[in-house]
Structure formats: C-alpha cells, structure tokens
Amino acid sequence: MDLTFDRQHIWHPYTSTLTPLTCYPVTHAEGVHLYLEQGDQLVDGMSSWWSAIHGYNHPLLNQAAHQQIDKMSHVMFGGITHQPAIDVCKKLLSLAPSNLQQVFLADSGSVAVEVSLKMALQYWHAKGESRSKFLTLRHGYHGDTFAAMSVTDPDNSMHSLYKGFLPEHIFADSPQGNFWQEWDESDIEDFRHKLTQHHQQIAAVILEPIVQGAGGMRIYHPEFLRQVRQLCDEFNLLLILDEIATGFGRTGKLFACEHADVQPDILCVGKALTGGYMTLSATLTTQKVADTVCGGEAGCFMHGPTFMGNPLACSVASASLDIIATEQWQTQVKQIETFFAEELVQFESYSEVKQVRYLGAIGVIETHNPVQMENIQALFVEMGVWIRPFGRLIYIMPPYISQPEHLNKLLTAIKSALNTPECFNQ
C-alpha cells in the first residue's frame, strides 16, 4: 500500500498533518483477527471501537449483505419503505426497553445523539415551554458533531476551541464509586444539586448508563443511574440514555440500563448495531414523546438524512440482531468477564498501574503515566495484538467470540508494555 500517500494526504481520527503517526495497513479480517499487509496476524482487542462484536467476516452478516446488495443497496426513505427497515426496527423494539415504541434511523452515533437532543427540544417547544439546556456528566462522551460535543466532557473535547459557537450546557460531577464497590450516597449530590437548581431550563438529562466510554472508561454504580431516573421523574424531565457503546450485550446485559432496572425516555444506539459492518444508528423513544413532538408547531420531527434507513445497513443490522437474539452473547460475555475478574485484576500489582476496572467484555487499565503512542502501538503489533490506548488508559473490549487463548495473548502484550518504560511518557 502507498503509505507515503496516506501519511501525506489522508487525515485519520484525531491526527496531525505535521507529525502523522504510523498507520498499519490491514488487508483483511476474519474472526478475531486482523491481517496486516506484511502478513502479521493480530488478535483484535478493540472490536473496531466497540462495533465488531461477532468478529469479522461473519458468514451470516456477509450473506445478509450479499443478498441485499443484489436487490438494492439504497433507496430514499422519504415516502418509501422497505423490508430491511421494517425488520430491523421490529427486532430493535423487541429487544429494547419495553416503553420505547418509535424508532428513528440515523447514520452514525453522533447523529443519533443530535436527533435525541432535537427530540427533547421539540418536545418542550410543543408543550409551550422554552427549555434549551441539557444536564449531563463530566467525563462523558457523546460524539464529535457540535451538539453531541456540547454535552461531551468540556476538557476532553476542548470546548475552549469552539467558544462562542458551542452551546453551553450543565455538567454535574461524574460518580466516583466503582460498579463493584459499595454505593456512596454522596456520589449523587452534585447531580441532584445541579438538577434542583436548573430544572426549569433543562430539556433533558443525557448520559451514558453505567460505563462512561471515550471520556475516561469509568464504570459506575447502578444506584447512581437509578437515582437519576427517580430525579428525572420527580422533576418531570426527559432522560436520554446513550447506549451507543454499551448496547447489545457489551456490559453483560443487553442494555446497560438493565443493571439499574431503569428505562429511558429516549435511547441512542449505534456502533455494534450492524455488528461493525456499516454505519447505522437509531434513536428510540416513547409514543408519548413522539406524539408530543409531532403535535407541536412543526407538525413532524424535523430531521431526515439522505441515507436514512439505508437498506444495506438495515439488512446487516437485522442479521446481527438475529445473532443477538440467540443469546449466545450472554455466555460469551460472562466468560470474558470471568477472565478479567481472575486475570486482569492481577495487573494492579504493577507499579505503572493505578487502577484496574472491568465489566462484561470491557477491561480497563488506568496507568500513572500517559502512553507513548508510537512505541506502545509498535510493541502491541510486534506481540501480535491490536490495542489502541489513549492517554492513561489501556483498555480492551474484544469481540464476544474471543477465546481464552486470544484473551491471554492480549493480556501478555499488555504485561509486556507495562514492563517497557519506553511505552510511557514519564
């Protein structure tokens, strides 16, 4: 591959044109493995950012894509409908929290979040109340488009760069207590305070249930979420749950909100929706929210992407949800969680390690020093694994089909990195 061209002309996520880092050329992927041009076989620890939950090149997903592409890959969704959209929405509603009745299909996670915020704003507009603030948590992540970024952690997403353009919302402290520790009542105090103080301006609360992903890989206590739901009910506020990372079994429950036994008013899903094949997301809501929105001045929900309900993506998503419906993921994710509980926690004895956290098929090592990206990436590739850390976080969320031998390989590589001072900026 022409890596020089790539380096000189192609932007990768969060990269500099002045100091582009090495990119590794992947030619194909199969099961839990990525294959490099040089012939290396890497065990994937990232599921391509939470998405490839069933592994790569899956026969059932391939079949769904092939069959659909021979019929039509795309057709507009305005005034037209098709079987793949009906199938995927039916299956989504059968899996999602039972109060959700309406599905809006969108093209990426960030757009699903934008849609959820617009729904909340239109909801209050229709009720004749002007409410334009959102309450969220520090260390959250909801995407890179503007509205999504405005409710993402202000420091991590560098709100200062966009000051004057970015709307300002309300941030409560994120819970400190770990999922596995005792609940500490003071963890909800700041949230309760901010909500009580500002509730008349707040259109909705938006947060990631149980696991805060890209904003810090924090895994918090279900009691926090339970109390958030109670407070939203008490003050009559909408609760938007962003399950774009956590949805479809990743945390050991089909949706992370099930850990707290709560239901959202609006739910965002994406990432693993197509098993990592294509970009597709969805925003689900209740009949009440949908009907209120549509009873307002606009008379409809004001959004409609060109590639809305893309049949190819819908048919693959539909096949992925069939695999989910077999419930194999439950034993697979449990097996990975048990492995983390036994093996990953031992990493706490390393001097470089500050804390180890895990839940379901998510394993996180927080280090004292930030990683030296170029070096640690090269070491991981040399050790035959694909792990992409950031800052002080080395984390893995492998495909559900990963076997102990694959998980062992991932942990051996992390061990080796922790023993290599060049992998960290001191």
Ligand X SMILES: *Cc1c(COP(=O)(O)O)cnc(C)c1O
Residue stretches of the annotated binding site for substrate: 49, 141, 271, 304, 388
Number of residues that bind ligand X (CB under 6 A): 15
Question: Using CB under 6 A, which of the segments 8-16, 240-248, 319-327, 383-391 binds ligand X?
Answer: 240-248
Among residues 44, 153, 187, 242, the one annotated as catalytic is 242
- Name the phi and psi angles at 353, rounded to 5: -90, 130
Question: Using CB under 6 A, which of the segments 208-216, 290-298, 361-369, 404-412 binds ligand X?
Answer: 208-216
Active site residue 141: yes
Tell the burial category of 402 from Cβ atoms under 10 Å away from its Cβ (0-12, 13-18, 19+).
buried
Is residue 207 a contact point for ligand X (CB under 6 A)?
A: no
Question: Using CB under 6 A, which of the segments 30-38, 58-66, 206-214, 362-370 binds ligand X?
Answer: 206-214
Active site residue 409: no
Can you name the residues that pair with 171 across neighbouring β-strands? 136
What is the rounded CA–CA span in Å between residue 122 and residue 397?
A: 36
| b/e 109-125 (16+ beta carbons within 10 angstroms → b) | bbbbbbbbbbbbbbbbb
Site for ligand X in 113-132 (CB under 6 A): 113
Structure tokens at 412: 């051996």
Q: Which residues are annotated as a binding site for pyridoxal 5'-phosphate?
A: 109-110, 242, 305-306
Q: CB under 8 Å to 42, separation ≥6 — which residues?
A: 33, 34, 35, 36, 381, 384, 385, 386
As measured in angstroms, the least distance from the Cβ of 102 to ligand X is: 20
Is residue 386 a contact point for ligand X (CB under 6 A)?
A: no
What is the rounded CA–CA span in Å between residue 283 and residue 129?
A: 23
Is residue 270 a contact point for ligand X (CB under 6 A)?
A: yes
What is the rounded CA–CA span in Å between residue 173 and residue 235?
A: 19
Binder to ligand X among 56, 141, 248, 301 (CB under 6 A)? Answer: 141
Question: Using CB under 6 A, which of the segments 11-19, 38-46, 107-115, 381-389 binds ligand X?
Answer: 107-115
What is the rounded CA–CA span in Å between residue 22 and residue 45?
A: 19
Q: Which residues are annotated as a binding site?
A: 49, 109-110, 141, 242, 271, 304-306, 388
Q: Do 108 and 148 touch, CB atoms closer than 8 A?
A: no
Active site residue 220: no
**Closer Cβ to ligand X, 268 or 394, answer by number:** 268
As measured in angstroms, the least distance from the Cβ of 112 to ligand X is: 7
Distances (CA, A) of 311 to 8, 58, 117: 35, 19, 25
Q: Long-range contacts made by residues 346-351, C-beta under 8 angstroms, separation at least 24?
A: 347/411, 347/414, 347/415, 347/418, 350/415, 350/418, 350/419
Binder to ligand X among 209, 213, 247, 309 (CB under 6 A)? Answer: 213
Binder to ligand X among 47, 48, 110, 174 (CB under 6 A)? Answer: 110
Active site residue 35: no
Is residue 312 a contact point for ligand X (CB under 6 A)?
A: no
Catalytic residues: 14, 141, 242, 271
- Positions that interact with ligand X (CB under 6 A): 108-110, 113, 141-143, 208, 213-214, 242, 244-245, 270-271
